[in-house]
Amino acid sequence: MHLLLKILLLFQGFCFAFGFRDFNLGRSKGGNIGSPPLINLDEEVPEPKLFDQIVDHSDPSNKDSYKQRYFVNEKYFSKNAPATVFLMLGGEGRFDARWMITGAWIDYAKNFNALCFGLEHRFYGDSHPTKDVSTKNLQYLTTIQALKDVANFITEMNQAYKLAKDTKWVVFGGSYSGSLAAWMRLKFPHLVHAAVSSSGPLLAVADFREYYKIVVKALHEKTGSNKCQQQITKAHLEIKALMSAEPETLERDFKVCQKFSESTTNDIKNFYNIIAENFADLVQYNEDNRIGSDENSRNITINTVCGLMTIPVNIPAYKRLAKFNAMMLKKNNQTCMDYSYDNMITELRKTSWGKDEARQWMYQTCTEFGFFQTSSAEYKIFGNEFELDFFIQQCQDVFGKKYDKKFLQNSIDWTNTEYGGLNYTVNHVIFVQGTIDPWHALGITYSNNPIDMPALYIKGTAHCANMYPARDSDLPDLKQARTTIAQHLRLWLQHP
């Protein structure tokens, strides 16, 4: 208890450099797959290569091309027939070359003597199909274009490496790229022999209200108690009261960048959304094995934060929540909480290539997926200040008035019709989800075909946990999942 009190006091007075929020629309800054820790520090990370990729696969008369980044690891490859090739698909962020030498898929590559490729997703990292990310140019940022990028890449690599016709390609992906992995097997079964889809959302929805319901369940699952969510609910009630009676108290304790008296209705909605997103970030990546910015960041877990929220001392619930907010500000190198709606929109309207790439992911959510994590669930632990209309307005304010609710729903209907949503029946695909990960609500967690299309639902794990390098402290179910994946790959690679 004394340690928790010290942690509470430690984060009270920090001041840090301001920056755009690191978690937005269910996406961590840089993408939802973190950087894996290197097991062998002496092993060299491969340099990127460039592939001449087609800009618009839907128009054969359009000869425009761009340089798409990819990586190769030939260390474990055996050309003895039948050859095996593993392909890690990039997603909504820069492809990190460290994945080419570590992670569960590299362990599998060693066992199956696989040639390994990593392909960066168009419009992310350094793979720029257009001169900027204007709304007009973002028309080329679609799943169909991305999947055809992969198909073209596989075809060209088969020729470049003189691979035999019976070579078997296995695609891997996590989060959004986990969806792409499953859809590659669905759309291009003649090119892709098998797929491992980790934490991939397959069902597009506008109002993803289930997200925060699972966040609440995760707090209970990891702590074995409802006390944490009760304190969070209490904190929000206190915040609502103070917002009217003592706004200056909230301004000080939550380290906001502007006074509430100067805020708009959308600013206040954004304030509540940021508080909720702090918990979304906490739960979505709880205790995974990515590279943390420092040891303090790695120690921000469900159990430590809920410990702060429920410690039996005479501190108002909202102050405990404010301390967690200070922890997240420190983690994200920010001096204050910038809840300005206009600042957020201004940042997202920038059309020059930048490092964050939040604009690209927002475009994909506004035009294909939705995935908006709203406060519309029955149990409103985070209040009900950010409903679906709040996110629709963001789409319109950033990209234009045509991106309204009807446009979004038509786009979602198209996505689910094109890929089948959760009605997925293709063989040689393994789906992996974690009970802690809120995204599992839009993925496959159960299968009637455990041999040819198994679903692994790993108790106690978060987003893409199975992809990271193994460690002794991994939960037993996580260790077993990695073994099960290897067993299925061995079985499928023996099939013609």
Give the single-character DSSP code of 369: I
Catalytic residue among 288, 463, 474, 488: 463
- Checking phi first, is residue 459 left (phi over 0); if not, alpha (psi -120 to 50) or beta? beta
Q: How far is CA 225 from the centre of its chain?
A: 27
Alpha-carbon distances, residue 132 vs 91, 318, 359, 370 (angstroms): 19, 43, 11, 23
Q: How far is CA 115 from the centre of its chain?
A: 26
Q: At residue 68, what are phi and psi to the nearest 5 degrees?
A: -100, 130
Q: How far is CA 457 from the centre of its chain?
A: 18
Which neighbouring-strand residues pair with 24?
A: 27
The yes-or-no answer on residue 175 being catalytic is yes
Cβ atoms < 10 Å from Cβ of 293: 12
Structure tokens that stand for 81 in this block: 């027939």
Q: Are 373 and 281 in contact (CB under 8 A)?
A: no
Q: Are 372 and 365 in contact (CB under 8 A)?
A: yes
d(CA 395, CA 300): 31
Can you give the C-alpha Rg of the chain in angstroms?
23
Q: Are 38 and 102 in contact (CB under 8 A)?
A: yes
Q: Are 369 and 412 in contact (CB under 8 A)?
A: yes
d(CA 280, CA 276): 6
Q: Provide the pairing of β-strand 115-119 with 205-207.
A: unpaired
d(CA 489, CA 484): 9
d(CA 216, CA 436): 10
Alpha-carbon distances, residue 322 vs 205, 240, 305, 315 (angstroms): 32, 14, 11, 11
Total count of residues recorded for the chain: 496
Catalytic residue among 22, 96, 121, 175: 175
d(CA 117, CA 154): 10
Q: Are 102 and 142 in contact (CB under 8 A)?
A: no
The yes-or-no answer on residue 463 being catalytic is yes
d(CA 140, CA 314): 55
Catalytic residue among 263, 437, 447, 474: 437
Q: What is the 3-state secondary structure (H, E, C) of 298-330?
A: HCCCHHHHHHHHHCCCCCCHHHHHHHHHHHHHH
Active site residues per annotation: 175, 437, 463
